[in-house]
Amino acid sequence: MFRISLALSFIILITIKQQCFAQKIVFNWGTQQADLNYNECYQSLIKLNLGTTKTKELADCIFGKLKSKFPKGVNLDTNQFIEIIKQLMKSCFYEQNVQDELPFFWNEQYLKGFRVAMLKSMPFEFSEDQKNKLFDCALKKLKEKYPNDGFKIAEIRKDFEKIAKDCELEIIK
């Protein structure tokens, strides 16, 4: 779940230019507007650096599900459209099995989601204070190991578990 949240945060949805100012998202399948929206989705997904084939598969999955959900075309409020796209992206990320290939970034939004996910995964016998100290210790060590953005989520997940065990020895006595 954490990995998908990060990806959704990274993309922060499809950046369809006309939608920045639109109150409603309206297009029919097979039209130039539908093609433009697909291309904007594809261009947004390229930023994940998953390769051309995987990016196309994801865009096809998202728009295939959108077309199945709305076979006569799309006519939604912008917020409704965004929520539906979030759900479809999440589903397609799981189906295409790209969670571990997604990039991680050191920004406030990612760190908030990362903290929530990691604290939930810690043993119940730890107090909230111990969990927070453990997370902070591990985060500091991860930032030293990965000072730059863009590394794969699989790398940080694997290392977090190992580093957290080291921090546990330091903090939980």
Residue 11 pLDDT > 60, yes or no? no
Report the C-alpha gap between 29 and 73 in whole angstroms. Answer: 6
Report the C-alpha gap between 81 and 26 in whole angstroms. Answer: 10
Average pLDDT value for the chain: 80
For 137, other C-beta atoms within 10 Å of its C-beta total 17
Measuring CA to CA, which residue among 80, 1, 96, 8 is closest to residue 44?
A: 8
Residue with tokens 């699989």: 154
Tell me: domain 2-101, CATH 1.10.357, correct? no
Domain boundaries, the chain: 2-101, 104-171
Q: Are 95 and 2 in contact (CB under 8 A)?
A: no
**Which tops the pLDDT comparison, 52 or 155?**
52
- Give the pLDDT mean for 12-20: 40
Phi, psi of 172 (to 5 degrees): -90, 100
Report the C-alpha dihedral over residues 163, 166, 171, 173, rounded to 10 degrees. 150
**Which tops the pLDDT comparison, 93 or 109?**
93
- What six digits make up the tokens of 39? 């291309």
Measuring CA to CA, which residue among 14, 12, 96, 11 is closest to residue 57?
A: 96
| Whole-number pLDDT of residue 22 | 56
Condensed to tens digits (0 to 9), the pLDDT of residues 52-98 reads 998 999 999 999 999 999 999 889 888 888 889 888 988 898 888 88
